[in-house]
Amino acid sequence: MKEIQFTDIDKIKVGHAQNVDAATGCTVILCEDGATGGVAVRGGAPGTRETDLLNPTEMIEKIHAVVLAGGSAFGLDASSGVMEYLENKNIGFDVGVAKVPIVCSAVLFDLVIGNSKIRPDKSMGYDACKFSETNTKDLNGNIGAGCGATIGKILGPKSSMKSGLGSYAIQIGDLKIGAIVAVNALGDVINPSTGEILAGALNYDTLEFLNTEKVLINEYQNKSNRFNCNTTIGLIATNAKLNKAEANKVASIAHNGFAKSIYPVHTMHDGDTIFTMCTNLVEADVSTVGMLASKVMENAIIRAVNTAETFNNTISRSDLLNKLNK
C-alpha cells in the first residue's frame, strides 16, 4: 500500500474556486466519462442536491460531477455552473433534445466566519471546473469548500477553530481509492490512535480545549438549540468496479472515518454527507473498498485540520501549536 495523490485516481479531476476575503468556496470532483455514484447522509441537517437518484432503485446509472460547497443552501447554486460547463462539452445523460449533466452536491454552513452575503454561485462553480483542466495537485487547507470551514462550535463561533479541506489517497496493486472532505463539524477532531483532541472548541484565554463531549454531558439539562451552523461533507473516489448498491455501501462504511476522527459526529446540527464516485476500471471486493474508504476518510479529516490556516481571529491548529510551544 502506498500513498498517492487524490488526483492520481483514474478519470477523476478536481477543481477549486473560492473568495478568500469572504471565506467561502467550492470544490468540484469531475468524471466526464461518468462514474457510478453513491451517497450516505448521516447528519440531521443536510443540504444536498440530486441524492435521491443515487438510490439503486432509480434509473440514472452514472453521475458526472459532485460539488462540495460552502454558503449553506445558497451554495447549491454552484452546481448550475458545473452543469453549464459539462453541457458546453456535450457531457450528460442523453434525453434526445439535450444531454443533461448529472451533478450531485452537498453544502456546509460557513456564513458566520466571512461575508454572509457572498456565497458560492454559478460563476464560482464554472471557475472551479475550469481550474480542474490544469490542476494536478492535491490542494488542502483554506481552499475550495474548506475556505470557510471551522470546527468545535458547540458554544458558537467565539470558541471555534479554523479547519479546511483535506484529501488523502492510497493505491494497493491496481486499486486506487481516495477521500476529499471539507471539515466543518460541531464537534472536535480527534487523533483516532490516541484520543487526543487535535482541534476543536477552544478556550481562547487559556488555550485549552473545552472538549465538546464534556460540554454536552455537563450541560445535558440545557434544552436550548445548539449552534447549528455546521456540517462535514466529503467524497470517496475509486477506480474500483462497483454497482450503485455497492457504491452506496462504500459511502455508508466511509462514515466510520467520520466517527473515528470527529467527536461527537452526526448530530442534529450537522448535515454530514459522503458521496462515492467509482470509475469502474478495477475488480475489487466491496468490503475491502469500504474498509479502505473509512481509512482514507479518517486521514483526510486529520489533514484538513493540519493544513488549515488562521482566518482573522479563528485560530488554526498549526498556529495554536506555535503559541503553546513558545
pTM over 0.75: yes
pLDDT truncated to tens, each residue of the chain (326 aa)? 999 999 999 999 999 999 999 999 999 999 999 999 999 999 999 999 999 999 999 999 999 999 999 999 999 999 999 999 999 999 999 999 999 999 999 999 999 999 999 999 999 999 999 999 999 999 999 999 999 999 999 998 999 999 999 999 999 999 999 999 999 999 999 999 999 999 999 999 999 999 999 998 888 776 665 677 899 999 999 999 999 999 999 999 999 999 999 999 999 889 999 999 999 999 999 999 999 999 999 999 999 999 999 999 999 999 999 999 87
Residues 6 or more apart in contact with residue 180 via CB below 8 angstroms = 6, 14, 27, 29, 68, 165, 166, 167, 234, 235, 237, 300
Question: Could you give the CA distance from residue 71 to residue 48 in angstroms, rounded to a whole number?
Answer: 12
Cα separation, 237 vs 240, in Å, equals: 9
Give me the residue spans of the domains in the chain.
2-324
Q: What is the largest distance, in Å, between two alpha-carbon atoms of the chain?
A: 66
What is the dotted CATH code of the domain comprising 2-324? 3.60.70.12
